[in-house]
Chains A and B, each alone.
With several copies, the nearest count.
Chain A
Amino acid sequence: MIELVTGPIDTQNILAQVTSPEAGAVVLFLGTTRQFTSGRETASLDYECYHDMALAKLAELEAEARTKWPIVHCAIVHRTGHVGLGEASVAVAVSTAHRSAAFEAGQWLIDTLKHVVPIWKKENWSDGTSQWVHPGLEVPKEIRSEP
């Protein structure tokens, strides 16, 4: 199950999708909005994606993970748009026969997702400024929130 959603991520549905009598282990990872980063306060996040390519890359990630680990079911759901404090922006869930593969595959999926899937995060800081996050790059300048 690969999805881009604009509202809250339905973790119950995700767990139901991956749970199976073929699997003895389920690992679910949620990435949630943290309030403080190096002492600076976040008010919320906004995510933007290149929709069709993001879906294609997520499907490639699942396919590649299935060549590395004996995955029973896999679900990757990313939220776009506005995400409040403490809310999940991404969910990765994997079920496998044995638990070590589920942990490894889950971690590989989220690590790789963060490097290759065309999705971008904008930090809306509590001081009213906003900033697109482009890892490895000095973001050109701080700018007021876009309208």
Chain B
Amino acid sequence: MKLNVKLFAAARQLAGADQLAVDLPEGSTVSDLRYRLAMEHPDLAPLLPHVLFAIGSEYVGDSKPLADAMELACIPPVSGG
């Protein structure tokens, strides 16, 4: 299944892109996505243990099942304010 992951701040900068397409097997979870991103984008790897993922406007846990065509956001530690 094909997913799209939006990137922000240092994640965007390290990847050199504001979104990434990821292809994962059916039944994958957020945890699998995190692992796959680290494999395919070594520059992002140091950041990935520290990011959260969101679907729509909700943070999701690592066990969250993913579905084809999902849009996710990769949320590094926030620093607004």
A residues apposed to B, CB below 8 Å: 31, 47-50, 52-54, 56-57, 78, 89-90, 110, 113-122, 132-137, 139-140, 143, 146
Contacts and interface: CB of A to CB of B under 8 A. Distances in A.
Nearest to B81: A114
Interface residues of B, number: 20
Interface in B24-81: 46-47, 50, 54, 56-57, 73, 75-81
Q: In terms of DSSP, what is the predominant structure of the interface of chain B?
A: loop
Contact of A50 (B6, B10, B47, B50): B6
Given A53-B56, A53-B73, A118-B54, A134 B81 contact: no
Contacts of A120: 8-10, 76, 78-80
A89 B8 CA distance: 18
30 contacts: A48-B8, A49-B8, A49-B80, A50-B6, A50-B73, A53-B57, A54-B80, A78-B80, A90-B81, A114-B79, A114-B80, A114-B81, A115-B78, A117-B78, A118-B75, A118-B78, A119-B79, A119-B81, A120-B8, A120-B9, A121-B79, A132-B10, A134-B47, A134-B50, A134-B76, A134-B79, A135-B79, A137-B77, A140-B47, A143-B13
